[in-house]
Chains A and B, each alone.
Chain A
Amino acid sequence: MSLRADLRHGLRIARAEFVRSVRGYARDRRRLLGLAVAVLFFGGNLLFSLPTAYLLGRTVRSADAIPFLGPAATALPFLLVALAALRTLERIGRPEAEELLLSTVHPRAAVIGLICAEIARLAIWFGLPIAAVVAAFALGLGSATFPLTVAVVVLPLVCWAAVWGYALGIGFLRLFRWLPALGRAAKIGGFLGMLALVLASQSIGRLVADGSFSVRGALDAVTIGPLTEYVAVAFLGTPLSRSLSPVGPGILLLFVALTPLGTAVAARSAKTLWFTDASKPERATRSKTSSGGFAAPRPFAATKPGRIAWGHLVRAVRHPQEFSHLVMIVFFLGPVGTTFVQSSGDALGALAAATGVGLATYLAGATFGLNPLGDDRPQLSLVLLSGTTPRTLVRGRVTAGVAVSAPVAALVPAAALGLGAAPELAGAFAAVGLPMCVAASLFSVGLGASYPIYEEREFWGAETVVPSTLVMVAYLFVVGGGTVIGLLATWFVASGRLTATPLVAGGLSVYVLTTAGVSYGSYRYAVRRYRRYAFD
């Protein structure tokens, strides 16, 4: 009776959570725009993947001939469990409005509801495109039953992965509560792991190309035979069907049997997490104090924007989680990493110096400039009525960005001398790096002010206001592109490869004027947004 009630309550919670998610996706114009971009992206992929799946269905003569079927069958359960665990750690480890739910229904019902809602969300984002690909393949194969057998294989797998991934995620949350230092280490480890993965993914192509690494051999080594047998169940009744080993159906039964067990484990673990407290207070045991008042050091003390910048820097040091969005740079390090691996001699030093300047221009705007109004929102009623002009407020942010980036722009090229960079080149990069940082910082405040984000959300384990992804991508595109052009021009000039002709002078003038003009215009726009800001 109680199980039936918990199931009923769980499904009701799942329905409500799913409806809330759908309404959240379409809550405002910004989200609708993001959704449209995602649909266009995935929809665009389908334009290629659907005909490919159809042709594959028409031409393939045995399941073994389907490329990477075995490795995919092996990877899928692990990926799904990892995804579910990650989502639990980041988003669904606790229900929203938990006082309501936990004083109304049994925790097991809440767990069932959260997991079912997650499966429904997964079905919307991934299930629909995958179903379309499967349908195209079935059409090519000429098998009407294939989508059904795929469902028979996929559904138990997804349910199993969802509940055990949830249990794993809750287990991690309990562990991190017990050992908070481990949680912090895991975040750093995750970041480094992601960095390593990006770099490795860039390097592996070269190893494959020169024949020193065999993809087929590596995949064969990690393929787990029984999981391939399990996936082979999906081909029953199709022209690709082969003699069925008992292993496949056995694994299917195992997934089915382990799902309620995983639910029980997850519910028990979640109950412990939700109703008990950390053995030590989660807040720091040492009280945080400051002495000496607010005294900005030189050179910040000399001007009001400088003192405002110092305030930004002090808060950044005390609450570095606010800058979790900066990890986005990792995805752009891959190509640089590959180039590093392939470089030697003078090229390595020059590349290191250029990378330093590129990193500096990224930090100049991305640290403080990509969501100025959103970041300042809690204090806007104070600062806008403080008598400080909007121009000073914006300059404070710009100065903070330059303060963070200028040392990187100057010191990395200097350090690159040790890697063999020519002194004149390192000096030239550092010299152009500083004005580039100023330009990037000025550009960022206008770009960020054009699309402010006010809602806090959990990002990388910290509750913070993250700049819009569109703004971050636009910033990377514009500033990254501008920096590359500027550095290439500097390299040509410093290495004497550029002859002074009217065309070159004109091109350089256009570049400098465009950079300066766009940056200044962006800065003026930010000032205007602050001046005209109104609470809606």
Chain B
Amino acid sequence: MPSTNTAAIEADDLRKRYGSEVALDGVSLSIPTGTVYGFLGPNGAGKTTTMRILTGLSRPSSGTVRVCGVDVADRRALARHVGYLPETPPLYEEFSAREQLEYVADLRDIAGEVADERIDRYLAEFELLDDADRRISEYSKGMKQKTAFVQSVLHDPDVLFLDEPTSGLDPRAARRIRESILAFADAGTTVFLSTHILPVVEAVADEVGVLYEGRLVAEGPPDAVTSRAATGDSGSLEDAFLAVTSGGEDVVDAEETDSGSERV
């Protein structure tokens, strides 16, 4: 649940062009602190581009982004506020999970004892303790994903960006990640969650935004998006998603916002 009204992520009129191709077309976001924000959209809609811009890893063609009040261009100040788990886990296969996490803790300037305590706790929580000294090259996809998730939260970030964190995981590992997302949100962390797995969004998100062809076409709490998106009687988030990403004519009941998306 959102804990305050302060915006953890504030993006204004983001545009991104690659030559003549438009990847993002005027996306604006204002996500309160402590919110779990489900970021949906079909393949190629611009979700990963948005996440890279919000984490400062890519520059928008125009528009501004502030995370926790920090301009994302100021990477030195931004780094301690954000954790980012990209779709492909950024791990070094030559390291063991423990080495990887200790390395990241070192780069994050986390004090030794604190780092050791957190690493042990997270390894235990994510059932990686027994395999902590094995090389990551020998890990399963789920183990790699859990290790990458732990490294993205090791410094206790204010805002957590997760790109498809449960994709391809078995139900047990997926549930573990889902529970962690909720635990972090309860502790006040803002979670920006991009995924195709709509039940995950339904289970954890306070708010959803739907990106379609580079534009934010719908935004609001999941129930509201579902009920207002002219989806008939069944009324699932999946129906709403299909409705708002099929060209936009089905979303007639939605209220138009300044940014062009339908705020419901």
Contact = CB atoms under 8 A, between A and B. Distances in A.
B59 A275 contact: yes
Interface in A87-146: 96-107
Interface stretch (A11-19, A290-298, A444-452, A461-469): A11-19
A20 B58 contact: no
B107 A9 contact: yes
A105 B92 CA distance: 16
A12 B90 contact: no
Contacts of A98: 90
Contacts of B18: 277-278, 280-281
B106 A12 contact: yes
Interface residues of B, number: 28
Contact of A281 (B19, B76, B95, B106): B19
B177 interface: no
A19 B84 contact: no
B57 A103 contact: yes
B214 interface: no
Contacts of A105: 79, 107
Contacts of B92: 16, 20, 96-97
Interface of B is mostly: loop
B55 interface: yes
Contacts, number: 70
Interface in B1-53: 18-21
Interface in A3-49: 5, 9, 12-13, 16, 19-20, 23-24, 27
Interface in B39-86: 55-59, 75-76, 79, 82-84, 86
B176 interface: no
A492 to B, nearest CB: 55
Contact of A12 (B84, B103, B151): B103
Contact of A103 (B82, B103, B106): B82
A103 B107 CA distance: 11
A125 to B, nearest CB: 18
Interface in A275-291: 275-281, 285
Given A106-B75, A278-B18, A281-B21, A20 B82 contact: no
A5 B75 CA distance: 14
A27 B94 CA distance: 8
Contacts of A96: 92
- Interface size for chain A: under 10, 10 to 19, 20 to 34, or 35 or more residues? 20 to 34
B21 A99 contact: no
Contacts of B76: 2, 106
Nearest to B88: A99
B104 interface: yes
A98 B84 CA distance: 11
B94 A276 contact: no
B59 to A, nearest CB: 6
A98 B107 CA distance: 13
Contacts of A20: 92, 94-95
Given A100-B90, A103-B57, A103-B84, A12 B107 contact: yes
A27 B75 CA distance: 35
Given A23-B94, A97-B91, A107-B75, A275 B58 contact: yes
Nearest to A274: B57
Contact of B56 (A2, A97, A103, A277): A103
A19 B55 contact: no
Contacts of A2: 76
Nearest to A104: B107
13 contacts: A2-B76, A19-B94, A97-B90, A99-B86, A100-B90, A100-B151, A103-B56, A105-B79, A106-B79, A278-B18, A279-B19, A281-B21, A285-B20
Given A5-B109, A20-B95, A97-B91, 16 more contacts: A9-B107, A12-B103, A13-B107, A19-B94, A20-B94, A99-B84, A100-B151, A101-B107, A103-B57, A104-B79, A105-B107, A106-B75, A277-B58, A279-B19, A280-B18, A280-B19
Query: Lowest 10 CB-CB distances: which A-B pairs, in order?
Result: A97-B90, A100-B90, A280-B19, A23-B94, A281-B18, A20-B94, A99-B86, A99-B90, A103-B84, A104-B107
